[in-house]
Amino acid sequence: MLPTNFDSLTAERPDLAATLRQVAGWIRQHPDWNLIDPRELARTVKNVDAWALASALHLLVEKGLFRQVYMVTTPSGVLADGEFEDPRQIPETLPDRFNRTFETAESDIIAVLTAPR
């Protein structure tokens, strides 16, 4: 499971403590996720200010608790397999969940947070 102990961060940034607790709660409720998809997080976490959520995610990356990588959505809207350190590394085509090749230029690139190396 992804890290959920953000105590040191909440002490450092009390203004983001509530948001960080919500992020930790979301991770605990999604034990089968090996990444944070900000779209999914924003959709399911209630009553969170968009700026605070973005700041909290930025802080998690800045402090090394998470790593930001890029993924591509398949034509059906889920994330395709394959994480990329830089959007420029994304190949022209990728396989979808059923191994059908699609053109990545036609798809969305999503910045997601994953566990550090």
Interaction between residue 84 and other proteins (CB under 8 A): no
Question: Of 17, 18, 33, 84, which lies in the binding site for other proteins, with binding defined by CB under 8 A?
Answer: 33
Interaction between residue 49 and other proteins (CB under 8 A): no
Interaction between residue 29 and other proteins (CB under 8 A): no
8 vs 34, beta carbon nearer other proteins: 34
8 vs 101, beta carbon nearer other proteins: 101
> What residues numbered 88-107 form the site for other proteins, per CB under 8 A?
92-93, 95, 97-99, 101
What is the full DSSP assignment across the chain?
A: ------HHHHHH-GGGHHHHHHHHHHHHH-TT-SEE-HHHHHHHS-S--HHHHHHHHHHHHHTTSSEEEEEEB-TTSSBPS--BSSGGG--SEEE-TTS-EEEGGGS-EEEEEE---
